């Protein structure tokens, strides 16, 4: 967050760090907000359910990202579930410590506001594309993941090679459709899967953007 060292020490004095296996529930919808969480390694997903009971993945979070920050601020129960996708190390900060940090450190408040604005932009973008064709929607999901968790590799932007069921939930498409579109994008040399490192490399981000026009 760019905080002074002494503020970081105070803020993290009561942080507890734990490593969780894959597919472990960290938060459940309607839980009360006793802590705010920071991902130190690994991946987690934020999910909810539609009126038909179908699971919807809202976001994928990785290193350096936080979750559970809204419930302590507005003092209402959690609105989504959070589940690990891989073995994940998470630091939990007591909610009162987090609220005190926001109230006393302007930089922390600015960082939180920027995070909220970023997430709102991402939601707006995905809503605009909900009636788009399948290629546009898959391209959008890949760029969405790259924006949040992309790292520069030797040949392009690398993102986690998520199971197709997660990409299906993020895009609102059938898993078979996601698999077909990914194959098409790979044949066009826009992406490349690297199985031995469990990552997907976006070779041409501009090319993916062009598919969404």
Model confidence over 126-170: pLDDT tens digits? 777 777 899 999 998 899 888 877 888 888 899 888 888 888 888
In CATH, what number does 5-127 get? 2.60.120.10
Sorted by where each begins, the domain ranges of the chain are 5-127, 132-210
SS3 assignment for 42-84: CCEEEEEECCCCCEEEEEEECCCCEECCHHHHHCCCCCCEEEE
Q: Six-digit token pair at 180? A: 């077909």
Sheet-wide strand order for 81-84: 25-27, 81-84, 44-49, 55-61
CATH of domain 132-210: 1.10.10.10
pLDDT per residue, tens digit, the chain (213 aa), is 556 667 677 777 788 999 999 999 999 888 877 899 999 988 899 988 888 888 888 888 888 889 988 888 877 788 889 999 889 999 999 999 998 888 888 888 888 888 888 888 877 877 777 778 999 999 988 998 888 778 888 888 998 888 888 888 888 889 999 999 999 999 999 999 988 878 899 999 999 999 876
């Amino acid at each position: 967050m760019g905080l002074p060292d002494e503020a970081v020490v105070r803020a993290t004095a009561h942080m507890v760090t734990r490593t969780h296996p894959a597919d472990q529930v960290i938060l459940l919808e309607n839980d009360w907000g006793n802590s705010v969480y920071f991902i130190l390694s690994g991946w987690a997903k934020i999910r909810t359910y539609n009126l038909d009971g179908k699971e919807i993945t809202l976001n994928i979070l990785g290193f350096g990202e936080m979750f559970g920050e809204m419930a302590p601020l507005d003092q209402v129960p959690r609105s989504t579930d959070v589940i690990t996708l891989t073995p994940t190390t998470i630091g939990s900060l007591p909610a009162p410590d987090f609220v005190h940090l926001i109230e006393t450190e302007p930089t922390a408040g600015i960082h939180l506001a920027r995070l909220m604005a970023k997430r709102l932009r991402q939601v707006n973008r995905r809503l605009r594309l909900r009636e788009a064709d399948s290629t546009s929607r898959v391209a959008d999901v890949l760029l969405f993941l790259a924006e949040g968790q992309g790292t520069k590799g030797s040949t392009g932007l690398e993102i986690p090679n998520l199971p197709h069921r997660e990409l299906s939930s993020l895009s609102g498409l059938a898993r078979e459709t996601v698999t077909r579109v990914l194959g098409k994008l790979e044949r066009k040399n826009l992406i490349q899967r690297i199985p031995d490192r469990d990552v997907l490399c976006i070779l041409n981000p501009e090319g993916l953007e062009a598919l969404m026009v």
